[in-house]
Structure 1
Amino acid sequence: MKERLSISEMAQLRGISAETLRHYDRIDLFKPQHVDPHTGYRYYSIFQYEVLGTIKELRQLGMNTNEVKQYFNERNIKNSTDILAAKHEELVRKLKEMTALEENIRDKLAFLREVIAEVGSPAVTIRQLGRRKLFTLHQKINSNLELCYGVLGLENRLTETAPILASNRLGVLLSQEDLEARRFESPSTIFVVAKRATSLPKVNLVTIPAGSFACIRYYGELWNRSESLDTLCRKLVEDGYVITGDALQIMQVDITITDNPNEVMFEIQVPIRKQTANSSYHGV
């Protein structure tokens, strides 16, 4: 055992590179205890091991070198506690952001695997879907240009970290009136399904009640929906259903996933109920 260590020996002892130690020396963060005046060789004392260990741990916490310098400046229990508390708060915030991203990616992967495995499913399915809150600027779109600006408008007003397009949440509302009148090409209101509705202005929220939805998926542009909507509406008439509200057209597979336009996919969800003897089916 020896007290004086070369730069390579200290680096190996602490599991860091010699170049890192040279960098710390240049920026006056961690300097060798002795420099040979004749050779210029740097030597560290074994008693400096704890300071270097603390620097390594602070860097693992995400502190930059200036923050580490601040930590060692007039170090005492109060200053250290304040700095560590601030770093802990930052780490908790980042952890929440990463958790949200992980959840979105996990959900997207599950959906994409379902799409890949899906074979021979019926054109129209009836599904039970839960209550949803939609965040919208009540902006109607009718072209790809308007779609681009609509997406930007939504993204710029959301405080979420998790991406919209990677989570099957972006879509447009098709009014019940237009559906019943078979105006399938009418301008539609762009929205994103809200995850944290309590933090959003109520004027920008639209509630979609839980219930039965007739669903159909199709491949192509947002505007290529007429044929699928016509198929869905005819099926509803045949099976004795009535439309009970606005429909949702949600982007499922988009340009964030594929460059192949034939793989771009949307799902249309139309709220329905069984037609009773006293109800009439208008327009469909």
Structure 2
Amino acid sequence: MKEKLTIGEMAKLRNLTTETLRHYDRIDLFKPQYIDPHSGYRYYSIYQYEILGTIKELRQLGLSTDEIKGYFDERSFNNSLELLTFKHLELVSKLKELTDLEENIREKISYLKQVEKEDEEKEDEEKEVIFRKIKSRKLITLNENINNNLQLCYGVIKLENMLNEKAPILASNRLGIIIKEEDLRLHKFEEPSVIFIVAKNKQRIPKKHQRTVPGGLFACIRYNGELLWNRSESLAKILNHLDKHGYRIKGDALQIMYVDITITDKPNEIKFEIQVPIEKV
């Protein structure tokens, strides 16, 4: 064991690179303690280990080199406690954000795998009307009609800005539009529609932007294509199916973006699902 260490020895001892130590030297953050008067060689002291260790820890906590300089200029018990307390709160907040983001992404992956499985199992049922029971859902809506793709883009942004989630609402089956019951009955399939997001339980949204869709039996159909508005054929097929089997509409329909443009650029892979609430005549 020795007291004086070369830059390579100190770097190896603290698991740093020599370039990192040279950088700290250049900015006057951590400098060698000894200079040989004859050779000019610079040496660190083993007793400087604590300072370099503290620098490493503070860098791990996200402090800049200027902030670390300021810390060493006024290092004291109270300042250290205050700094660690602040950084701990900051880390807890970041952990929560990462946890929420991980949960969101995990749900998206699970959803997309389910879509993949359904596509493999129900390829023959595509574009056919099926009846499904769906639970009650709470929607978040701007209560504004969407007439074209330009308005749709701005509508999605407004809705996302209302949420406290850490990942976009796309790449899920939560975004869609409301098709009015009256328009369905009159076969006005291309009328302007209200955009919505299916809310999560933890969302806190003003009541004026909330809407509940009752659970029950729905006539559903899926279709592929780039445009949200190309739904006339599918809606006509649903209404014909209802007439044929003795059912009627009992509320507004939902058109869900099932697989959207954040997942694929291929038009034949983009998928929508229309869900029409029904009851027996």
Q: TM-score, normalised by structure 2?
A: 0.87
CA distance in 2, matches of 1:142, 1:162: 26
Tell me whether 1:79 sits opposite 2:79 in the alignment: yes
CA distance in 1, matches of 2:186, 2:206: 32
Tell me whether 1:45 sits opposite 2:45 in the alignment: yes
Matches within 5 A, 1:156-175: 156-175=161-180
Tell me whether 1:193 sits opposite 2:198 in the alignment: yes
Aligned-pair CA distance for 1:155: 2.8
1:251 aligns to what SS in structure 2? Answer: strand
Contact 1:105 1:167 survives alignment (8 Å): no
Which of 115, 131, 135 lines up with 2:136 in the alignment?
A: 131
Residue equivalent to 1:68: 68
Distance 1:143 1:49, change over 3 A: same
Cα shift readout 1:153-205 (whole Å, capped 9, x = no counterpart): 22334343221113332211111221222211111101222336653221111
Distance 1:236 1:35, change over 3 A: farther
Provide the identity percentage: 61
CA distance in 1, matches of 2:40, 2:244: 91
Q: How many residues align?
A: 275
Distance 1:213 1:55, change over 3 A: farther
Structure 2: runs of 5 or more not aligned: none
Tell me whether 1:119 sits opposite 2:124 in the alignment: no
Q: What letter matches 1:74 in structure 2?
A: E
Residue equivalent to 1:271: 277
Between 1:117-126 and 1:13-22, the stretch displaced more is 117-126
Q: What letter matches 1:192 in structure 2?
A: I
Aligned-pair CA distance for 1:37: 5.3
Residue equivalent to 1:238: 244
CA distance in 1, matches of 2:141, 2:230: 22
CA distance in 2, matches of 1:40, 1:211: 85
Between 1:165-174 and 1:116-125, the stretch displaced more is 116-125
Cα shift readout 1:37-76 (whole Å, capped 9, x = no counterpart): 5655432211222222222222223333333334434222
Q: TM-score, normalised by structure 1?
A: 0.86
CA distance in 1, matches of 2:230, 2:38: 80
CA distance in 1, matches of 2:192, 2:73: 62
Distance 1:12 1:184, change over 3 A: same
Structure 1: runs of 5 or more not aligned: none
Residue equivalent to 2:189: 184
1:119 aligns to what SS in structure 2? Answer: helix
Residue equivalent to 1:209: 214
Contact 1:105 1:166 survives alignment (8 Å): no
CA distance in 1, matches of 2:41, 2:242: 85
1:139 aligns to what SS in structure 2? Answer: strand
